[in-house]
Amino acid sequence: MEMSKEVKVSVPEIYGSLVFGDRVMKERLPKETYKALHQAIEEGRSLDLNVANTVAAIMKNWAIEHGATHFTHWFQPMTGFTAEKHDSFISPMPNGTALMEFSGKELVKGEPDASSFPSGGIRATFEARGYTAWDPSSPAFVKDGTLYIPTAFCAYGGQALDKKTPLLKSMEVLNREAVRMLHLLGLPEVKRVDVSLGSEQEYFLVDKTLYKQRKDLLFTGRTLLGAAAPKGQEMEDHYFGVLKPRIAAFMHDLDTELWKLGVPAKTKHNEVAPAQYELAPIFENINIAVDHNQLVMEIMKKVADRHDFACLLHEKPFERINGSGKHNNWSMCTDTGINLLDPGDTPMENLAFLVFLTATIAAVDKYADALRCAVATAGNDHRLGANEAPPAVISIFVGTELEHVLTSLINGTPLESAENSVMKFGAHVLPAFHKDNTDRNRTSPFAFTGNKFEFRMPGSALSCADPNIVLNTAVAEMLSEMNAKLMDVEPEDIEDTVRPLLKNMLMEHQRIIFNGNGYTDEWLEEAKKRGLPNLPSVPDAMPSLISEKNLALFTKHRIFTAEELNARYAIRLENYSKTIHIEALTLQDMVRKDFTPALFRYMCTLETEILQKRAVLPDLPSTLEEHILQHMSSVAEAIGIRIEKMEDDLRKAESIGDALSCARFYHDVVLADMDALREEVDIAEADIPDSELPYPTYAKLLSSAI
Ligand code: ADP
Ligand code: MG
């Protein structure tokens, strides 16, 4: 028998092998250069050109050793994807040979033609110049023969055109306010507070050949048509199920590729819906975690292709089964190793914990609408509020233990000690262990999970930068308000001043706390009574992005200028309308060019069948054929009416000038037209033989990845 060809990988050997990270830099850079670079990163200063030249030369040699011939400034424009333009290292010599060169200037600064990236009106196409600037705090790496240099991207006028710049700014602001607070609380040894992020990534895998037969998946990432498969997720047998061999091989390959790039892929499992999976990394510094999540999404697609799968990252690729999210696990950690959201054994005595917890609760309440905006996309609209995802209303789950803490803070009463927290299975052979101090609440959009908050609203395709820019800035703002009140308080009076301050803040913001089931209609009613915003769609949410309150937040902390924020508002709305426009055109194409011809062919078969039967044996009944034919004929009529309505409305949509009204129209009218059309097509599809259908069915797609 042939031996398995599987090559064993030594993880410690490959881990980070394609990354120009700290280990390589320490090994290869002159001591002085290494020190200067580190200082620049830690203190957030820009780099001296001499240092940059030395780093560039050594980085280039290392990259060439790892197969690179090119370098690219890798950036994250407002498309939500990454962008790259590759330049080779070659420098031709007069004698016909070539040197491989890479200067400090090339490392530090790039000048891509920026005219074709979304700018929201910040720059016209004739002002093509944009700049990319090296972000030395996220390590460079080699991928497919190119040295990738993480960079920030801005316009000639200095306006940020990307997602990294505001993220870095929000980290700096949070760091500044958090350190100030910790110094006031008597922890002068803390020099830095970093934000940590672990982002769980959900995705679907379908067979590549079938994927290519569906224009909707190819052009829009989701199915626009499709009758339900006989079996969906109702048996609840996929979640955590055994990994099928083809899936396991894909996941193994994916982990290996990610580990080489220094992405700490940790957990993999089957998700709830058929053909749905999840990957969770170990948390990291948020800037690196955001870059790594972009790599995760990209490598997932690449490795899937190699295994003859297509990886779907859309938030709702299939109707009637779960969509995909990206859980954003977020915390703050000091350079002295304290997780500021870790309650410890005696949370009531842990003043820093109480302060950072309260600041987060207050931030999420006050800026719930901005957070909601950050995750509002055409794709995610299909998910939020559907019964597998959190509702569009933001609330916080804290769990019973923390609820006791908050109550005793508000009432000034001692903490009721938790009851028996030892977990017993009942069979003695099993170990006894301490229970976590919170249960899991899967229905809450923002849940405390022991020593971090998990924001569950982000959609699977989103850049993690978006929600975290808001979260970091909002928490920094609450801390800065508290700092202002504590600034002149004598150290011995701090504690007595902080506790009433926390009490007041909690009383003001406790409406955001909800520990019940977030999927019920009762909760939506209750949320309305509490005055919590319910913003179910992009056009509902987006106006609050530029509200006076949110504009004040972002401009005060210099995350966005008013111009930049307005640009982002315009881009988001435009992106929404364009997405639905493309979806409607794809649906139109599929129905007119593929589906109705198939429907007519099938009707023709039935007609021929009936006629032939009559010709041969006039007395034989053909009730079934006639019924199906009548049914198909009436559905065909309805399809005709509905597609014409959609086409009319699409023309109307194109003539609406105002971005918000246009998005509203796409949401209220065009999406509704698409749903109505789909309804009829799906009814017909369910009766047409698979062999006659112009595209593979849900049943085929969802069972193809095995
Ligand atoms: P779940 O049960 O929600 O599926 P897991 O516990 O498997 O999640 O994963 C939670 C995620 O939270 C992981 O990516 C983990 O690295 C991350 N995480 C753990 N601690 C922190 C922290 N202090 N800050 C940020 N993320 C964290
Ligand atoms: Mg989770």
Same domain, 217 and 135: no
How many distinct structural domains can be found in the chain? Answer: 3
Contact yes or no for 624/609 (Cβ under 8 A): no
Boundary (domain end) residue, out of 498, 529, 560: 560
Using CA atoms in the order 327, 355, 422, 448, what is the torsion angle rounded to 10 degrees?
-20
Whether residue 57 lies inside any domain: the answer is yes
pLDDT at 424: 55
Q: How many angstroms separate the CA atoms of 649 and 659, rounded? A: 16
Exposed (0-12), middle (13-18) or buried (19+): which is 699, by Cβ within 10 Å?
middle
CATH of the domain at 619: 1.20.120.1560
Boundary (domain end) residue, out of 129, 145, 162: 162
Q: Quick one: average pLDDT of 319-340?
A: 96
From 283, 326, 356, mutation site for ligand 1 pocket: most ligand atoms within 8 A of C-beta: 283
- Cα–ligand 2 centroid distance for 265 (angstroms): 15
Closest by alpha carbon to 466, among 30, 45, 76? 76
For 619-675, write each residue's pLDDT tens digit: 999 999 999 999 999 999 999 999 999 999 999 999 999 999 999 999 999 999 999
For 67-121, write each residue's pLDDT tens digit: 999 999 999 998 888 999 999 999 999 999 999 999 999 999 998 877 778 888 7
Q: How many angstroms separate the CA atoms of 279 and 136, rounded? A: 27
Same domain, 553 and 664: no
Same domain, 453 and 503: yes
Contact yes or no for 404/384 (Cβ under 8 A): no
**Out of 209-213, 488-492, 654-658, 702-706, least confident range:** 702-706
- Cα–ligand 2 centroid distance for 159 (angstroms): 35
Helices (H) and strands (E) in the chain, counts: 25, 20
Do the strands 396-397 and 446-448 form a parallel or antiparallel pair, or are they unpaired?
parallel
Same domain, 199 and 155: no
**Which atom of ligand 1 sits closest to the CA of residue 339?**
23
**Which atom of ligand 1 sits closest to the CA of residue 331?**
24
Residue 262 CB coordination number (10 Å): 19
Q: How many angstroms separate the CA atoms of 204 and 687, rounded? A: 27
Which token pair is 221? 């990432």
- Cα–ligand 2 centroid distance for 439 (angstroms): 13
Q: Provide the pLDDT confidence category of residue 3 given band limits of 50, 70 and 90.
A: very low
**Out of 123-127, 342-346, 481-485, least confident range:** 123-127
**Out of 36-40, 642-646, 682-686, least confident range:** 36-40
Which token pair is 292? 């790594």
pLDDT at 232: 77
Contact yes or no for 47/37 (Cβ under 8 A): yes
Do the strands 146-155 and 140-143 form a parallel or antiparallel pair, or are they unpaired?
antiparallel
Whether residue 4 lies inside any domain: the answer is no
Residue 208 CB coordination number (10 Å): 18
Residue whose Cα lies nearest atom 5 of ligand 1: it is 280
Question: Does residue 373 or residue 156 have the better pLDDT?
Answer: 373
Same domain, 313 and 238: yes
CATH of the domain at 508: 3.30.590.10
Which residues are within 8 A (CB) of 632 and not within 5 positions of it... i.e. 6 or more apart?
599, 602, 603, 606, 684, 687
CATH of the domain at 39: 3.10.20.70
Place of tokens 């895998």: 205
pLDDT at 325: 96
Whether residue 5 lies inside any domain: the answer is no
- Cα–ligand 2 centroid distance for 551 (angstroms): 31
Query: Inter-axis angle of helices 399-411 and 351-366, to 10 degrees?
Result: 100
pLDDT at 119: 83
Q: Quick one: average pLDDT of 271-298?
A: 96
Q: Quick one: average pLDDT of 130-151?
A: 95
**Out of 155-164, 443-452, 557-566, least confident range:** 155-164
Q: Residue 10 CA to chain centroid, in angstroms?
A: 31
Q: Quick one: average pLDDT of 587-592?
A: 98
Q: Provide the pLDDT confidence category of residue 609 given band limits of 50, 70 and 90.
A: very high
Q: Quick one: average pLDDT of 159-184?
A: 96
Same domain, 309 and 398: yes
Boundary (domain end) residue, out of 162, 189, 207: 162
Place of tokens 């954003």: 328
Q: Which ligand is nearest to the CA of 198?
A: 1
Do the strands 422-423 and 433-434 form a parallel or antiparallel pair, or are they unpaired?
antiparallel
Domain of residue 184: give its range: 170-224+234-418+433-560
The 3-class SS string of 315-355 reads CCCCCCCCCCEEEEEEEEEECCCCECCCCCCCHHHCHHHHH
Whether residue 3 lies inside any domain: the answer is no
Whether residue 1 lies inside any domain: the answer is no
Say whether pLDDT at 613 is over 90. yes
For 383-404, write each residue's pLDDT tens digit: 997 767 788 999 999 998 899 9
At residue 410, the 3 state secondary structure works out as: helix
Closest by alpha carbon to 663, among 544, 545, 580? 580
Using CA atoms in the order 216, 220, 225, 231, what is the torsion angle rounded to 10 degrees?
100
Contact yes or no for 591/639 (Cβ under 8 A): yes
Q: How many angstroms separate the CA atoms of 693 and 116, rounded? A: 39
Q: Which ligand is nearest to the CA of 285?
A: 1
pLDDT at 438: 60
Q: Which residues line ligand 1 (CB under 6 A)?
A: 196-198, 200, 267, 280-283, 327, 329-331, 339, 451-452, 454
Whether residue 512 lies inside any domain: the answer is yes
Question: Does residue 41 or residue 475 have the better pLDDT?
Answer: 475
Q: How many angstroms separate the CA atoms of 275 and 419, rounded? A: 41
- Cα–ligand 1 centroid distance for 37 (angstroms): 30
Kindly report the average pLDDT of the chain as a whole number.
92
Using CA atoms in the order 599, 604, 606, 608, what is the torsion angle rounded to 10 degrees?
-170
Same domain, 679 and 651: yes
pLDDT at 2: 42
Same domain, 337 and 248: yes
pLDDT at 523: 92
Same domain, 281 and 383: yes
Q: Provide the pLDDT confidence category of residue 1 given band limits of 50, 70 and 90.
A: very low
- pTM (2 d.p.): 0.95
Whether residue 427 lies inside any domain: the answer is no
Same domain, 130 and 239: no
Same domain, 373 and 347: yes
- Cα–ligand 1 centroid distance for 454 (angstroms): 8
DSSP annotation string for 488-519: TS-GGGHHHHHHHHHHHHHHHHGGGB--S-TT
Q: How many angstroms separate the CA atoms of 451 and 462, rounded? A: 24
Same domain, 242 and 338: yes
- The pairs formed by 606-615 with CB atoms below 8 angstroms and a separation of 24 or more are 606/632
Say whether pLDDT at 412 is over 90. no
% of the chain residues with pLDDT over 70: 94
DSSP state of 543: G
Whether residue 178 lies inside any domain: the answer is yes
DSSP annotation string for 657-687: -SHHHHHHHIIIIIHHHHHHHHHHHHHHHTT
